[in-house]
Amino acid sequence: MTATATTDPSPRADLGITDALVVDDTGAVRSVDIYVRDGSVVSISDAGRGRVSARKVVHAAGGLTLPGFVNSHSHSYGPLCRHEGKNLPLEPWMMYGWATTVGRTREEVRLTAQLQAVEALLTGTTSMLDHLAGAIEDQEAALDAYEEIGIRALVAPMIADIRLPETVGAAPSLWPASSRAEDPALDQRSARDLIDATVALYDGWTSPSGRTGVMFGPSAPQRCSDEMMREIADISRSRGIRVHTHLLETRVQAGITPPKGFGSWLELLDDQGLLSARLSAAHGVWVSPGGIELAAGRAATFVHNPQSNLQLGSGVADLTEWRRQGLSVALGTDGVNCGGSMDMVSSMRFATVLHRPSRHDPSTWETPLSALRLATAGAAALGFGRGRLEVGEPADFSIFPTDTPAYASGEDPLATLVLSAWDHSARTVVVAGRVVVDDGRLTTIDETALLASAREARAKLLARNSHLAELARAQEPFLTELTRAAKANRPIMPFTGV
């Protein structure tokens, strides 16, 4: 069992972890003691070599101790609308998602951020990117929540200056009258307004802990005007602000012609100045091999969200080709309203096994170890270290208990977690050297009270936005047909000999 105790009154370290099972670059495991000071790992040594000397000691008892997962694509509005628009593809589904996002109160922004962070921490995620829709002026509530709960997070206000119905590749005139989105709630603010509000949030937010921050979050290339994207690229370049966007997620999106005669959306992004190491792009399911090459050459990061891509029927990203071309890749869940949950172990499992049937050569397959590296690779793109449990790195790690039935035979514990364990709960989670999950419970928030408030908040939100849900229902047949008719620009899953 993990337990905490106070020991040496004149501590050398703030935190000591004893008998932690860690995984090296070859996948081999060994038992170590870990020491943390001022938020960083200062020592990793063979277990039991030295006397435990720290202000706080956690006995890992052979628990699998991994660098904290970095969820590189999520939306914290998800927890109050987990199954709105269920069993639909993205285009009709997102109208339901929109209907439960518009007009949320500051309190609701705070509550959903808390719910998302709790779910992330309890399953071993220590950092996340929150691509957050809704009024930018209220998003400090999410940042406040992340500060209080102890997770690392960047908030990327999701902005677009093209009205939603005009971003699905069908002219507004083609929409049946009953499904036209005339509701003023769907009107977009101007690009100037949205960029200014994002910059104001970026400039106005001072993280008390240094764990939270703000970045640009243009919703997707087809949802933002050329002028808007160029302005974001200019500010990003001059001020070093990171950018996150969705990218070619569905067949419908792949069929939308990029403007101004560009051959592909990737060429347009490059011309706009967005394709750089500051950019991370979620999905990329329908990016061509040429687009992958362009993104890899510019050191941009693609974020793989396999469960979301399956749940919405969007397609299967060609992760093996991304790897072959040397693209920087991170892992995410997407919102819990389309990606299952904030559990990154589930994303790791999908990333490991999903692509195997398309490759004859098992040496190209993802493994539990490569999936672990994917699950922490986003740290670099977010400025949260290297995503490794090493001396000198931020003390962000999680301990998964191995005294449960799945681990009983003592075989490869990482493979057990990624491929065969059914409980993905971390017993201890440390962020920036602080124990935020202790014996499976949050130390920073009253979890029971928080969960108790979710039902009532959801009911209120749905009642307030019921007219938008009605609109989504009216749009569903048209958007479903649009999706059904969309052609794939490549096989859903290529079969190759490599």
Closer Cβ to Zn ion, 82 or 230, answer by number? 82
Is the CB of 332 or the CB of 368 nearer to Zn ion? 332
Q: Which is nearer to Zn ion, 33 or 334 (CB)?
A: 334
Nearest distance from C-beta of residue 470 to Zn ion, angstroms:
24
Give, as one character, the DSSP assignment of residue 273: T
The residue count of the chain comes to 498
* Residue 6: CB atoms within 10 Å: 10
* Residue among 14 and 130 whose Cβ is closer to Zn ion: 130
Provide the 3-class DSSP secondary structure of residue 347.
helix
Residue number of the CB closest to Zn ion reads 334
Burial of 264 per CB tally in 10 Å (0-12, 13-18, 19+) = middle
Q: Provide the minimum distance between the beta carbon of 75 and Zn ion in the complex, in angstroms, as a whole number.
A: 6
Query: Which of 1, 60, 7, 6 shows the shortest CA–CA distance to 34?
Result: 60
∠ Cα 10 12 14 (to 5°): 95
The residue (of 57 and 381) whose beta carbon lies closer to Zn ion is 381
Reading the block at residue 257, the tokens are: 């012609």
Nearest distance from C-beta of residue 322 to Zn ion, angstroms: 18
In the complex, least distance from residue 73 CB atom to Zn ion, rounded to whole angstroms: 6
Q: Are strands 29-37 and 40-46 parallel, antiparallel or unpaired?
A: antiparallel
- Of 75 and 434, which has the nearer Cβ to Zn ion? 75
Output the smallest distance, CB 53 to Zn ion, in A.
Answer: 45
Smaller CB separation from Zn ion, 231 or 334:
334
Beta carbon nearer to Zn ion, 23 or 285: 285
> CA 4 to CA 455: how far, in whole Å?
34
Compute the radius of gyration of the chain from its Cα atoms. 22
* Shortest Å, Cβ 377 to Zn ion: 18
Closest CA to 284 of 314, 236, 244, 249: 249
Are 146 and 160 within 8 A, CB to CB? Answer: no
Contact of 146 with 466, CB cutoff 8 Å: no
d(CA 481, CA 301): 32
What are the Cα distances from residue 25, in Å, to 28, 70, 71, 376, 390? 7, 18, 21, 14, 11
Task: Return d(Cα 83, Cα 119) in angstroms, integer.
Answer: 16
Least separation, in Å, of the C-beta of 334 and Zn ion? 5
Footprint on this chain of Zn ion (rule: CB under 5 A) = 334
Which of 265/407 has CB closer to Zn ion? Answer: 265
Output the smallest distance, CB 305 to Zn ion, in A: 7
Tell me how far, at minimum, the Cβ of 308 lies from Zn ion, in Å: 7
Between residues 94 and 109, which has the closer beta carbon with respect to Zn ion? 94
d(CA 148, CA 228): 33
CA-based nearest residue to 396, from 156, 210, 217? 210
3-state SS, residue 309: helix
**Least distance CB 430 / Zn ion (angstroms):** 28
